[in-house]
Amino acid sequence: MLATAAAASRVPTDADRWAYEVKWDGMRILADVHEGSVLLRSRTGRDVSATFPELTALAEAHADVHLDGEVVALEDGLPSFSALADRMHVRDARSATIAARRTPVTLMAFDVLRLYGVELLDRPWQERRESLDRLQPSGSAWQVSPVYPDAASLLTATREQGLEGIVAKRRTSPYQPGRRSPDWVKHAHRRHQACLVVGWRPVEGAGSRMGGLLLAVPGADGALRYVGRAGSGLGAGMEEELREALAGHELPRPVVDVPRPDSVGAHFTAPVVVVEVRHLGATTGGRLRQPTLRGVRSDLEPSDVREER
């Protein structure tokens, strides 16, 4: 179940009908614990159990539970998406174990979909939440995301503390898998956008190195449109991951209309890789203002990309 984006002024404020949680800056995960094993799936349904070995501790605390939540990596007490991005692409079990020691993650659980063999999808959010609150978190492996009674206070607190934002949830809402529902409403203080990589420009004077990515986003009609290029935040680790993901997807010409200043000398690719950028809004022509790369979104498929308004 996905939340619908809204401006701060459009977040519901009736606390009798709505509850409020922190919007965590991480990776959405479904954790299915059954008969001593833990299956972790990303938002797209991909098995990422090997990526986060520290979450196997869930099986030690609960015999049968299906949790929805956000995996976060903390830096100086705050969730860091860039730190998490270094973990998201790891598939090898040995490498994942080493990465877990260096950058441990925590599952911030905010919903429970099954408990002791009983499916809870059709139960109202309030009932599911009460079931979740009765569970005991297992050490550092997972925590229950707190619920707050006042939207305005949480908006202020999360903004001042540098947190991502808030999510409002209708207390009577059932859980609708895979659906973006108005029963969950999110507001992010910072503007983020998942984008498709449609090419890259080399560093001037070093033609083999990536200097900036050419980015596109589907419009309201589903057709891709160019939203600009981004080079800030493109480090060696991200470049290595991008080269691996883009290998074999080179194209002789771009799949979108790229202005000549950006297209000259560029290498073009099929739109198969998703990255996330932080930005300061968009120009009247639709280009992102001052986009900064945050990481490769290996947890998203190209079909998951949509324009965030």
Q: Of the given ranges (67-71, 73-77, 193-197), which has the lowest mean pLDDT?
A: 73-77
Q: Is 282 helix (H, G, I), strand (E, B) or coil?
A: strand
Reported as a pLDDT band with limits 50, 70 and 90, residue 307 is: confident
**CATH superfamily for domain 191-304:** Nucleic acid-binding proteins (2.40.50.140)
pLDDT in tens, 232-285: 989 888 999 999 999 999 999 999 999 999 999 999 999 999 999 998 888 888
Task: Decide if pLDDT at 82 tops 90.
Answer: no
Q: What is the pLDDT of residue 165?
A: 94
Q: What is the pLDDT of residue 298?
A: 86
User: What whole-number distance in Å separates Cα of residue 77 and Cα of residue 271?
Assistant: 35
Burial of 248 (0-12, 13-18, 19+ CB in 10 A): exposed
Q: What is the pLDDT of residue 139?
A: 65
pLDDT in tens, 86-124: 888 888 889 999 989 999 999 999 999 999 999 999 999
Active site residue 23: yes
Higher-scoring residue by pLDDT: 197, 75:
197
Number of other CB atoms surrounding residue 126 within 10 Å: 14
Catalytic residue among 11, 18, 23, 87: 23
User: What whole-number distance in Å separates Cα of residue 303 and Cα of residue 249?
Assistant: 17
Give residues with Cβ within 8 angstroms of 229, minimum separation 6. Answer: 201, 212, 213, 214, 215, 262, 291
Q: Which CATH number, 3.10.310.10, 3.30.470.30, 2.60.260.20, 3.30.450.40, labels domain 2-188? A: 3.30.470.30
Q: What is the pLDDT of residue 32?
A: 96
Residues 214-238 as b/e (b if ≥16 CB within 10 A, e otherwise) read bbbbbeeeeebbbbbbbeebbeeeb
Cα–Cα nearest to 201, from 116, 269, 248: 269
Residues 37-69 as b/e (b if ≥16 CB within 10 A, e otherwise) read ebebbbbeeeebbebbbbbeebbeebeebbbbb
Higher-scoring residue by pLDDT: 219, 254:
254
User: What whole-number distance in Å separates Cα of residue 172 and Cα of residue 180?
Assistant: 16
Total residue count of the chain as it appears in this document: 309
pLDDT in tens, 137-178: 766 788 999 999 999 999 999 999 989 999 999 999 999 998
Reported as a pLDDT band with limits 50, 70 and 90, residue 21 is: very high
Q: Looking at the whole model, is its pTM more than 0.75? A: yes
Task: Decide if pLDDT at 218 tops 90.
Answer: yes
User: What whole-number distance in Å separates Cα of residue 43 and Cα of residue 48?
Assistant: 10
Where exactly are the structural domains of the chain?
2-188, 191-304
Task: Decide if pLDDT at 13 tops 90.
Answer: yes
The pLDDT > 90 percentage for the chain reads 69
Give residues with Cβ within 8 angstroms of 142, minimum separation 6. Answer: 31, 55, 57, 58, 67, 69, 106, 107, 108, 109
